[in-house]
Structures are given as structure tokens and as C-alpha cells.
Structure 1
Amino acid sequence: MHNRPLNICMVSDFFYPAMGGVESHLYNNSQCLIQRGHKVVIVTHSHGRRRGVRYLAGGLKVYYIPAVIVYSNASLPTFFCTFPIFRQIFIREQIDIVHGHQAFSTFCHEAILHARSMGLKTVFTDHSLLGFADASGILLNKLLKFTLSDVQHAICVSHTSKENTVLRAALDPQQVSVIPNAIIAEQFRPDPSARDPAWITIVVLSRLVYRKGVDLLVAAMPRICQLCPRVRFIIGGDGPKRINIEQMRERHMLQDRIELLGSVQPADVRSVLVRGDIFLNTSLTEAFCIAIVEAAACGLLVVSTKVGGIPEVLPRYMITFAAPEEDHVVESLLEAIGRVDDRPKHPELSPEYFHSQVKKMYSWQDVAERTEHVYYKIVGLEEPPLIERFRRYYGCGLVAGKLFCLVAAIDFLIGVVLAWFWPRAQIEKARSFDYAKYHAIVTENRLYHGSSVGSEKQSSEPLTLG
């Protein structure tokens, strides 16, 4: 087992200021790895005017590379065009391991390809589930097989996700680890005084897109409102399906029962959750679903469709499952509404008990430690010869295998040309961020301004944006 600090580069199209589970995972995992003594930099595409190099809280360095966005915050595939800038970053930051996140991320696939051409160790984390029958799934599965043919290790966020990834990419299961997502439990404390006792409030926090089951939500809400006069809905999130909810609300005249908040900032998520009694998730596919963990930490009973890795996330007394069908969602909501009225009689259903149990189950420090174990497992592996890399790519299919070998060969040759034009010795090494000095200054400022006991307790957790 090695114990030397590592230089790690996290790469994904999905990072702040965009919001989502992948973005949260990247940020919090990186902060904890920094606290464990490693150097972490993140590479993502530019967001509007945010481009160039930025430092976030805790000394986390982020490269925002200009790129053309094509769909759902993913950048336009350029294959070899990003090699020069990725090579500059990897050499400047003296990277040991390149860690790509999310199968939908173009930057992730390109960074792993270029890193392998440079002989760097690579890790891939899959955050999604994909099918095997639709055209987009088939194409993305082939791309994933190409990328994962030459990575040292893969990580999935649930056992269901692992099975899906192993089948999609034809991987050896021993090369895939399961490391779940987590939350900072201190940021999701229950607040019973925030809810309105006159109502039973159902909260929905989600991107309003087809994959999140918004059509199921639209069908179930008017039926629940008709059956239960004391029920109201609070919906946070935005997306193309929002218009469907607005039209349904107008058609059934439920303006006083359905509150639409629009996009909710991460800092405001808890204040929305603590207003509710029940959290509803109607996703059609989900590898983990960090939203239900946040809701349970705030003390809400959870109702969710039983899809993907969701059954692995919470114990049975915290969640009620439903098939992804309208009637089943309504039945499960009615069951949860009945449990809300019985909560005072059952201490194991109290918000405080929910919070204490979730805090024990999920921790970013644990995620970082397990990720670190993967890094140390691969960092000492011997680099295979180039012909072995071609053999792995060739096994990806009769036609695709030859194409993948061609792509890998061209990328390797581009790397040789770049090494001739810009030798490593001529690339200036970036100065290391002085994490010890940074934390000393932060601690001194807290003492100078008189931090409370609560803030001192939170200082052991990863520093967060805003």
C-alpha cells in the first residue's frame, strides 16, 4: 500500500456553476481528497463568462476550457483537438491519475484517451444507467466500451449500476468497484417548525425532464389532490417539462395546491425540503439518486419509483416504493400520507431519527477514503506495451475494433508530435497551492471574528460553495 500524496485530475463536462449529482460528487469528493493530503485539479468546459483558471474554496483548482456546448451541458466531441491543452494541464500539474466522470461527458472520454496515450493511469466513474435497445444507448455503450477497454479501474455508484456497466462495456467485474454518493449531513438538519401543520406537504426537487418521470408526476398530482383535500405540492426545479405541470395546474385549477419554485440553488435545498412531510421521486431510471438521501436526512418520508439503484439507497422504513406507473404512484403516496399521521406514535419515524441514521450511512470522508484505495491500487501497475493497448481496442468488435485501433494510433502519433514541438522540459510546472497556509488563515479568521460552536463543528466537513 502506497502512502505518498497523489496528483489527481478530475475531468467532466458536468461541474459548477451547473447543478446536479455529478457536480456535487466531483466537488465534495475532491475537497475530501485534498483534506487527505492529495492535490486535486478539475478540468471542465467553460460556463458563459467563466473560463480560464479559478480557485474554489479549500484551494480546489478548476480549469474552465472554452468549448462548444451541444446538448444537456455536454461539449461538442472534437476527438484529437483537445489533446494539446489536456497535455499541457497534465504536465503542468504533474498529474499521476486522470479520473473521468459520467458516460455522457465528452471531456471525460477525450481526457482518458489522451491520458492513456501519455502513459498516465486512468479511472472512470459511471453515474448513470443506460439501456441496450434504443439507438442512443447502443452508440453510447460502444463509446463506453472503447473508453473502458484501456482504463485501470472503473467505479459505479450502486451495485445495479455496476451490473449495468459491466454488461455494457464487457468488463471484468473485479476491475469495477462500488462507491456510493454521499451528503454533508450537517447541511440537512430537520426543522419541524418550518412545516405548515394545516397541510400534508409533498416536495418534489428534480430537473423537469422526461427521464425524471415528470409525466407520471403530472398524472398523479390531480388524483392525489382530489382524494386528499389536506395535501399540497411544492415543486422545485426547471426543465422542458415544466410547461406540462403548468398546463395541468391550470386545467384542474390547482394554483393554491401546487407551488412551482423554479430553479432552486443548492444553498436553498434544505429550506425547501424542511417545509415538507413527504418527498416524491418519479424517476424512470436512476443509478443512485442523491436527492432522496438529502430528503431523508431532513426527516421526510420518501416515496420513489423502484428503478435502477434506488432500492439500495435507503432502509425500508424510510421509503415507500412504487412501480413506474400512475396507479402505483398514487397508491404509494396514499400509503405515505397515512404514515405521516402516525409518525408521532412511532419514534423510529421521527425526523431526528431519520437524520441520525442517514448521517451514519453516508459520508464524503468515507467516499474519499475508498476512492483513495482505488488510486493506490492502480498507481503502481506496470504500463502495458502499445501493442497490448491495440489488442484491447481490437476486441471491441469486428468493425468498431479496427476503428478504435485507428483512433488510438492517431492519438498516440499526435502525442509524439506534441512531445517534439513542446518537450516536457519546456512546459512550466504550476506552483502548488499551500493548503496548510490556507487553512491556517481560515482558522485564524474564524477565531478573530468569533466563530460559534456550530461553525467549529462544521469546519471538519468539506468547505462548500457560497
Structure 2
Amino acid sequence: MRILRVAQDIFPDKVGGAPYHIHALSRDQAEMGHDVTVLTVSNDQSLPQTEQRAGYTLVRLSPRIELFGNALFAGTVKYLRNAREYDVVHAHSHLFSSSNLTAAYSRVTDIPLAVTCHGLMSQRVPEWFSRFHLNTVGRFTYNAADVLFSYTALERERLRDLGVSSDIRVIHNGIDVDRFTPVGKTYDRITDATGPAVVFVGRLVEGKRPRDVLKAFQIVQDNIPEAKLFLCGDGPLRDKLEQIVERENMRESIRFLERVPYQEMPAVYRAADLFVLASRTEGFPRSVMESMACATPVLSTRLEQTEQVIEQAGQTVPVGDTTALAEAMSSMLDDRDALRKLGQAGREIVMREYDWSETVEQTTQALGTISTSTPSQQQVDSDQAEEQVIPAGSNTEHEQ
């Protein structure tokens, strides 16, 4: 198949679960023999507008305007005019104007369109605006899709309640279970510290509620003074969080790891005794599944998308309840045997239900059902691409 993927963010230009998902899916589909082009946005003039990366073609367009981190590409419509050169267009998330515009263009031209829902609510904008956008532009975008991918059956129900009538396929957000394992190197900056280690992984933004993690950890230290908290990530709240740590004289117990290269993330999870997430909303966070794959238990806020899975391998508490978060953190760190059993349970769940190779296979098969190319033409395209594709072991991509 010839696939045009439209995505505002892509790894490693941008870090995060969705950007990495888009990159890895494009990489692996290219390795399968498909011709993949990714249309994205970048204002970094040092990067080429077009490049070959990990077997797929990456096209960067300049942002024309940006609001709440949502960029409208300059030249998007002009590029979409060539969309008929592709068998299918795959857009990502209703939260980005590029996906909304792609949906509108697809409606007019009848180009086969797939859309992946990476979560219904945004962490970048006020909640009222996110709900308004979902019930208007978001619903339009999803109804324009010939096939819509959601991570969970619950998310599919929410989309139906929203009034989305498109064909919805539930495809789990899988993890590379060969990379994220309990056995292997651990992260020195964590293992060199004494005491139980708690790790937060994510962007330092309001939606992730990292201040709740700091406040809860202060309470934990009353019971477990030797415990350490490691914040892995960066973002606009970094300075404010550092000021809190300095003001509360917690520099020795709370440490900022900033951005850790993605290839080193398994070592971070392995070194931790507990992974904590305090978000007010999430899609199906990759960091949770990566932690579980490494047999590191999870403590998270109670989010309907993830609650059922996490409570089989950790604990959940109400959003914004820092006292409950602290109590759960303390009780989990106090029972080492229970932590070990929760970690093993998490690894088993990911191995059984969230293997990344199945995510790629199921997504590719679904795209094939709406593709304009015939099965015989797809085989011809695949055979031709196999002669050009970069072998899996020879590409030099840098992942994060």
C-alpha cells in the first residue's frame, strides 16, 4: 500500500507516546514493504523539508499559526491535493488542526481515510475548551473516517455516545516486549541513590499534574525519609517545580532527570521500585505499559481508560487527591513482596495483550480494507518496496 500519514508530532523531533507510536508504525510498515510518507510540522530550519528515515519518507511543513500547541501547517491543502497518489490517508488525533483539515478534504474528495484516536481530551488546553472541541470539530473528524482506531472498548463506547457512526476498530496501544523487559541494564542515576525509587515519566505540563506528585511525595517522606523521587521529562512547569523543591528543601530527595533518550528508558523503569502517574486525563499512556512490561508496578490516578488494567498490576487513586496518592505510595513501597508480585502481573498482562507487533499487524490489515489499491496491486507495491526498503538491522535511526 501507499500510505500518507498526517501527524503534527513525530519522534524524535518531538517526544511522547503518540509521536513515538506514529514513528514506529511508519517504520514497521515500511519494513513490511509498504510505501509510507509522513506529513508533519516543524519550525526548525536546520532540519530538511524532506528526508528518508527508517524506511519511510518524512515531509516537514512550516507552521502557519499555532494555538495551545496546535499548529496549522502551511501548505497542507496543497500537499493533500496530491493525496490521490496514495491508497489511503491515515490521520492522528482529532486534537490537531492537520487532522481536522485532512478529514474535511477527505469528505470532499472521497479519499480513503483512517483516523487514530489518541485520547478524547487534551492536556494542553482548558477542559471546557477540550470538551467543546471534541463535541464539534472532533465529532466531525471522526465521522469523516472510513475506519477509526481506538485503544480500548471503553473509548469506542465514548465515541458512540458522542455520535460517531464510523467503523471503529479497537486496537491496543502495544509495546515492544523484547525491548521493555525486566532483565537488563538499569539507570545509574537511580540505582546509585539509596532508598526506594519512585519514577514519574512524562511532560511537565498541567494535565500531567506533576505538582500533585511532589505534594504527595512530601507526605511519603514523613514515613519513608530515605525514599527518592525522579522526574523524567521536561516542559513548561520545570522552573516552577524546581522552585518548589528548592523552597521545601527537598533537593536531595527529588531529582530531575530531564529528557532521557528513548533507548535508555527500559533502564529507567527497571531501576524504579514504583512508577507514578497523576494525570487528569490520558488516552492509553505508553509510559504505563512500558513500566508494566519492565515489571515495575504502577500507581496512577483513576482514569476510566486505564483503571481496569492498572488495578491488576498496581493501584489507582482519585484525580487530585494527593493524600490518597501519598498513602498508596507509602503502602506500596512498604510491602516489597507485594511490589514484586504486582510487577510480575504487569509483565504478564503486557505480554498477553499488548504486543506491539500485533498492533502493527492489525492496523495495517484495517488500512488494507479501505485502501483504493486492489490486493494484486498491493502485492506488486510490496514486492517493489522490498527491493528498496532499508533492512531492519542497518538503519541508524535515533529513538527516544
TM-score w.r.t. the length of structure 1 is: 0.74
What is the deviation of 1:64? 0.8
Q: 1:175 — aligned with what?
A: 167
Whether the aligned pair in 2 keeps the contact of 1:288 and 1:308 (CA below 8 Å) is: no
Q: Does 1:215 align with 2:211?
A: yes
| Cα distance in 2 for residues equivalent to 1:318 and 1:69 | 43
Q: 1:86 — aligned with what?
A: 80
Whether the aligned pair in 1 keeps the contact of 2:199 and 2:229 (CA below 8 Å) is: yes
Q: 1:70 to 1:380 in 2, by over 3 A?
A: closer
Q: 1:115 — aligned with what?
A: 106
Q: 2:387 — aligned with what?
A: 436
Question: Where does 1:221-260 land on structure 2 (aligned, <5 Å)?
Answer: 221-260=217-256
Q: Does 1:75 align with 2:71?
A: yes
Deviations 1:78-114 (A, max 9, x none): 7xx63222213x24xx201111101221111212322
Q: 1:434 to 1:77 in 2, by over 3 A?
A: closer
Q: Does 1:95 align with 2:86?
A: yes
SS at match of 1:238: coil
| Cα distance in 2 for residues equivalent to 1:251 and 1:197 | 22
**Aligned-pair Cα RMSD in Å:** 3.0
Question: Where does 1:45-444 land on structure 2 (aligned, <5 Å)?
Answer: 45-49=41-45, 50-57=47-54, 59-68=55-64, 70-71=66-67, 73-76=69-72, 82-88=76-82, 90-91=83-84, 94-130=85-121, 134-168=128-162, 170-172=163-165, 175-191=167-183, 194=186, 195=191, 198-314=194-310, 316-324=311-319, 325-340=321-336, 342-343=338-339, 348-349=341-342, 354-355=346-347, 357-379=349-371, 434-439=385-390
What is the deviation of 1:152? 1.2
What is the deviation of 1:138? 0.8
What is the deviation of 1:335? 2.3
| Cα distance in 1 for residues equivalent to 2:348 and 2:38 | 32
Q: 1:35 to 1:192 in 2, by over 3 A?
A: closer
Where does structure 2 lack aligned partners over 5 or more consecutive residues? 374-382
SS at match of 2:212: helix
What is the deviation of 1:191? 4.6
Range that drifts further, 112-121 or 132-141? 132-141
Q: 1:116 to 1:51 in 2, by over 3 A?
A: farther
Where does structure 1 lack aligned partners over 5 or more consecutive residues? 1-5, 382-431, 446-458
SS at match of 2:81: helix
Q: 1:163 to 1:244 in 2, by over 3 A?
A: farther
SS at match of 1:154: strand
Range that drifts further, 283-292 or 182-191? 182-191
- The letter of the residue matching 1:231 is A
Q: 1:133 to 1:269 in 2, by over 3 A?
A: closer
Range that drifts further, 123-132 or 254-263? 123-132
SS at match of 2:5: strand
Give the structure with higher Rg (CA): 1
What is the deviation of 1:48? 0.3
Whether the aligned pair in 2 keeps the contact of 1:22 and 1:102 (CA below 8 Å) is: no
Q: Does 1:15 align with 2:10?
A: yes
Q: 1:65 to 1:163 in 2, by over 3 A?
A: same
Range that drifts further, 257-266 or 334-343? 334-343
Deviations 1:270-324 (A, max 9, x none): 232222100001011112111011111222111011113112444x342111111
Aligned residues: 382
SS at match of 2:141: helix
Q: 1:11 to 1:433 in 2, by over 3 A?
A: farther
- The letter of the residue matching 1:283 is S
SS at match of 1:274: helix
| Cα distance in 2 for residues equivalent to 1:204 and 1:113 | 38
Q: 1:145 to 1:280 in 2, by over 3 A?
A: same
Q: Which has the higher contact order (CA 8 A, sep 6+)?
A: 2
- The letter of the residue matching 2:351 is K
| Cα distance in 2 for residues equivalent to 1:136 and 1:357 | 32
Whether the aligned pair in 2 keeps the contact of 1:32 and 1:364 (CA below 8 Å) is: no
SS at match of 2:60: strand
| Cα distance in 2 for residues equivalent to 1:20 and 1:38 | 25
- The letter of the residue matching 2:286 is I
| Cα distance in 2 for residues equivalent to 1:186 and 1:109 | 35
Q: 1:425 — aligned with what?
A: none
What is the deviation of 1:435? 3.5
Whether the aligned pair in 2 keeps the contact of 1:288 and 1:313 (CA below 8 Å) is: no
Comparing both structures, which one devotes a greater share of its residues to helix?
Answer: 1
